[in-house]
Structure formats: structure tokens, C-alpha cells
Copies of this chain bind each other. A is one copy, B any other.
Amino acid sequence: MSRPTIAGVARAAGVSVASVSRVLNGLAATEEMVERVQRAVQELGYVPDSRARSLKVGRTYQLTLAVADVGNPVYVTMMRAVEEVVSAAGYRLVVTTTGPDVVDEVALVRGMARGYADGLVISPLRVDDDLIKSIRECDVPVVVAGNVPASAGVDTIRANSPKGMLLAVEHLLAKGRRRIAFVNGPVDTVPGTARAKGFADAMKANGLSPVAEVEAVDFTFAAGREAGVELFAGLDSAGEPSGKTGVTGEASGTTGVAREASGRAGVAEQLDAVIAANDLLAVGIMHELAARDLAVPGDVAVIGMDDSELAEQSFPPLTSVNLGSAERGRRAAELLLARIEDDTRTPRRIVVQPTLSVRKSTP
């Protein structure tokens, strides 16, 4: 016994399919008609086929949110915000993971065309021309939560990383910390680039040079720990900070030796604060700090970015730059909904201002 279709219901109720459709969609019908149809629906356990319906009406009432990494808590903040807005508007939200590669991102946008959903919010780590092209060609509206060129002609909503960096640096400065290191994510990503520049500018604006800068392989906890190892190895072998950049690049083969030599005092002398490009990296760094008996914030203050749930869960709770992920999610959803209603409106580019959530990881 296969699933009943609308025809089956019509037959069971002794009415036409059109009448069934009308009753189901709440259009005008007599008491008795409604009654009969509903009983038949009940009895057969009929459920409309959403594909057939959307094939006809041209809408799925489904929206997609694509994120790079479900393990990154910043996305749960965004997800919650997007979910709230779209479900209030009568859409259901589904989430897909793209991974860090731009090709997968492109494939997703391409595949999104025709039928999977009525719209897409995408938060890409890396952007290239193919991605932009696929977004323009996509026949459902796409809004980018991130940074793409204005020339792409697409609705975007992004954070203000430079401003965020300024907040972080100035907070540290106000607390008397001047020997600041920066742990970034991959610099070939959009946020990586933005944060690198933001950090450099913020430091310069305050007459500071970084003690060290290291680039983690991605925006994860594990990468944060590795970056921590690299950071301390570099600090130690480099001795006093000499120039603008300090240590950069891969951990050297001498890590073991350098690490052995990097005593608590040695590091604490050279470094009194670390800014990380996101909360996951920051927490990774805090673990490496602890492994070296360096106290947070006593010896070294730590600031993360994203102000995700992890920031309050970590210990000590992490001071973090709130880049407005909830607001970005909310407004991305609103932008998407608006564009679904009216595809001719001129693309908007919204930037959300950051705030600083001060917790115990800074003095």
C-alpha cells in the first residue's frame, strides 16, 4: 500500500481533487465539504507532497544556511538568530556544512539552484571569482554573511573586524598590557585577511609593534593549540622582540628544544597579552598557556573574537570581541526574506558594529 495522494483522498471523500486542495489550503468550502475531506485525510493519513506543491507554486518555504564548520560556536549563535527570524516568517530552516574549501561552497550554491530552497544564507571562509559568479547566477536569492566586493552586486552583511581589533588593543592598553601577540587563522581566508589588517592598523594607531604573529592552519581549537606551541617556540628562540613582525610562519624543527627552554619567566617577560582571531583559537592558546604554567590573566591576558557561547563556557571566561554574530544572522535573514519578496531591490551592504564583552581573561 503506497502513500495516498490527493487523488486518493478525493476518491475516499467522494469529491474532486480540487476541492481537497481547497480545503487543505483553507479556501472557501461548505461545512460539509471540509468535514468530509478532513475525515478522509485523517483516515488515510494523507500528507501532501511538498515537491509537487512547490513545483506548482514555485516556492518551497524552505531556506538554507550554509556554514563552514558546525563545530565553530560562532555559527550556533548565527543559526539561532537566523532560525528565529525565518521561522517567524513561516519558513523552515535547514543547515548544511560546506567545509573550508571554496569549491565546495561553489558546488553548494550551484546545486542550490532549482528546488532545494527559496533562498540561501552563506558565510564563506574563502571567496573567489567562481563563488561570486555562482552567486550571481544562482536563481534563488543569496545573501552573504561575510565580505564580498561591492561589484558582486549581492546583499551582504558583515562584521567590522578592524574596529573590533581596535577595541581589543585599546582594552589591553588600558589595562597596561603592551606586549601583545596575535594568533590569526589562515590568512588566505576572508576573516583571516581582515583581522590581520585590522590588528596591524590597531597596533600602529596606538604606537605598538606586535611581539609576535602566528597563523593557525584553521579556525579550530586544535589549530589554536598548535599555534600556541609555535608562538612560544618562536618567542623563546627570537629572544627579545626586535621588529615589527616577530615570529611568523611554520613551527620550526627546533620546537622541542625551544619549548624546553621556554621557561615561565622567559615568556612572561616578552609577552603579556594575546589576541586571537576567534574564540576557538583563543581557548587553544589558553590551554598552551596553562601547560606552561602561565596564568591568565595574571601573566598573560587573552582576548578572543566572536563572543560565542564558548567564551562564557571557557575558564577563565574569555574576554571576547562581539562581532555581532547574532545581529548578523538576524539581519541576513531579514535581507533574504526581503529579497525573496522583491528581487529588484538594490543590493544592500550592511556592516554591524562590534562591542567588547569583558570577562575574566583580561585583568
Contacts and interface: CB of A to CB of B under 8 A. Distances in A.
A48 interface: yes
Nearest to A221: B313
Given A71-B309, A313-B314, A97 B83 contact: yes
Nearest to A75: B70
Given A45-B137, A280-B313, 6 more contacts: A3-B114, A51-B55, A52-B115, A94-B94, A310-B313, A314-B314
A139 to B, nearest CB: 5
A33 B137 CA distance: 25
B314 A50 contact: no
A64 interface: yes
A79 interface: yes
A36 interface: no
A286 interface: yes
Interface string A125-147: 00000000000010100000000
18 contacts: A3-B113, A47-B110, A47-B114, A48-B114, A49-B55, A50-B111, A53-B115, A70-B76, A71-B73, A71-B76, A92-B96, A92-B111, A93-B96, A94-B96, A280-B313, A286-B315, A287-B317, A315-B315
Contacts of A283: 313
Interface residues of A, number: 48
A245 B83 CA distance: 40
Contacts of A60: 51
A301 to B, nearest CB: 16
A23 B92 CA distance: 34
A141 B80 CA distance: 28
A317 B222 CA distance: 13
A237 interface: no
Interface of A: 3, 45, 47-55, 60, 62, 64, 70-71, 73, 76, 79-80, 83, 92-97, 110-111, 113-116, 137, 139, 221, 280, 283, 286-287, 290, 309-310, 312-315, 317
A238 B73 CA distance: 38
Contacts of A113: 3, 47
Contacts of A94: 64, 94-96
A338 B3 CA distance: 21
Given A83-B97, A95-B96, A50 B315 contact: no
A111 B62 CA distance: 12
Contacts of A315: 286-287, 290, 314-315
A174 to B, nearest CB: 25
A245 B107 CA distance: 56
A110 B111 CA distance: 26
Contacts of A137: 45
Contacts of A52: 51, 55, 115
Contacts of A286: 315
